[in-house]
Amino acid sequence: MKKTDQALVGFLTRDELQALLDAPDASTVSGIRDRAMLHLAFAAGMRVSELVGLRLDQIDRQTMSSVHIMGKGRRERVLPLWKQTAAAVKAWLKVRPVTDAPELFFNARAQAMTRSGFEYILTKHVAVAARKAPSIAGKGVSPHVLRHTCAMHTLQATRDVRKVSLWLGHASLQSTEVYLRADPTEKLEALAAMSPPMLTPGRFRAPDKLLAMLNVAGRKPNYAE
């Protein structure tokens, strides 16, 4: 079977990520909602389906310390929330309109947020973030790029691909190994750990047997001429 090339994952730098998280207008209800969604999408490495389907009862509203995520293939994971993420979600809960909708996030019509709805929100805030971090404009930021960003930042912080796998809810380490290929520090550490070959500079001296064979070959007629 022909193997297909696997592109490196795209992710945001810390400056680009911070510019994106700061992009929503915190003086508006929709801005507070958007900031909470962006924080959760990154901090928990959530798939867009996990984010838009997140329910109120999946957030620990008493302590705001964790989120219970229903992942792909019915795999569940409970993740702690960083203080900044917890603060962003808490701010949204304070202004979240009263509704019977079980979802944590919904659109302006008080209906469950859709995948395309979040993609539109993300694109809008990427444009704003580009004013502070111009490099983000050329990265084609999608919801999955936020998940990749979480994975890369977690890998760089822990140096443990197993922890990244647990955080993202991967079924196996094979799915997580793609982040090792995209992290240059992994390659630098591997290079530093390797000893260069101990070659001694000097002139090459051909053995007498090899010189004799070459002399014989040189005397043979060349019938191709």
pLDDT tops 80 at residue 13 = yes
| Interval 81-104 mean pLDDT | 92
* Architecture of the domain defined by 14-186: Orthogonal Bundle (1.10)
- According to the model, what pLDDT value does residue 213 have? 57
Whether 39 sits among the annotated catalytic residues: the reply is no
Q: How far apart are CA 29 and CA 41, in angstroms?
A: 18
Write out the E strands in 110-154: none
Over range 158-169, report the average pLDDT.
Answer: 76
Beta strand pairing status for 76-80 and 66-70?
antiparallel
- What phi and psi values does residue 130 have, to the nearest 5 degrees? -65, -20
Q: Round to whole Å and give the CA distance between 154 and 157.
A: 5
Is 223 assigned a catalytic role? no
- Which pLDDT score, from 0 to 100, does residue 53 have? 93
Please confirm, yes or no, whether 120 is among the known catalytic residues: no
Among residues 72, 131, 162, 187, the one annotated as catalytic is 72
Options 144, 159, 181, 187, the catalytic residue: 144
Query: What pLDDT does residue 6 have?
Result: 46
List all residues 6 or more positions away from 135 whose beta carbon is below 8 Å from its beta carbon: 13, 16
Mean pLDDT rounded to a whole number for the chain? 78
For residue range 183-193, list pLDDT tens digits in order.
545 433 433 43
Most confident by average pLDDT, 40-49, 79-88, 124-133, 168-177? 124-133
Number of H helices, E strands in the chain: 10, 2
**Which is catalytic among the residues 96, 125, 148, 179?**
179
CA distances from 75 to 100, 166, 192, 196 (A): 27, 11, 38, 45
- Residue from 33, 35, 47, 125 carrying the catalytic annotation: 47
Q: Is 77 a catalytic residue?
A: no
72 catalytic? Reply is yes
> Is residue 205 among the annotated active site residues?
no
**Which of 96, 147, 148, 153 is an active site residue?**
147
The region of weakest confidence among 74-78, 150-154, 177-181 is 177-181
Of 52-56, 100-104, 180-184, the one with minimum mean pLDDT is 180-184
Predicted local confidence at residue 207, as pLDDT:
57
